[in-house]
Amino acid sequence: MNVEIIRKICLKFPATTEDIKWGADLVFSVGDKMFCATSFEQPFKCSFKVPDDAFDEWSAKEGFIPAPYLARAKWVLVSNEARLPKEEWQALLKQSYNLVVRKLTKKQRSLLQI
């Protein structure tokens, strides 16, 4: 897994935007709400939102930790990309996207056509 593969996965989701935040992180958002952040710097790291009831389970897995600054919003950080096959990456990033979309207002979803 690398930044370019994460980018290809995330940009397939409707109304996704990307920008650089904090100097070296590529951030993917929908409706101005982040759903994934990854660093250009090595070693590879990627953070994303997980369901509230699964946060403790994901945080306890090898290669995962609560995401710094975002753990209170139930985000995890993957520090070992080899822990997940590409298909699971796709599912987890889509889940994160969907969790964020659900929090958008009806008006926001309508304007974004999602």
Tens of each residue's pLDDT in the chain, 114 residues: 788 899 999 999 999 999 999 888 999 999 999 999 998 888 889 999 999 999 999 999 988 999 999 999 999 999 877 678 889 999 999 999 999 999 999 999 888 888
Class of domain 3-112: alpha beta
* Residue type present at position 12: K
Quick one: how far is CA 99 from the chain centroid?
Answer: 10
Q: How far is CA 29 from CA 7, 44, 58, 67, 72, in A?
A: 12, 20, 22, 17, 18
Strands (E), the chain: 16-21, 25-30, 33-39, 46-49, 64-66, 75-78
Q: Do residues 17 and 28 touch, judged by C-beta distance below 8 A? A: yes
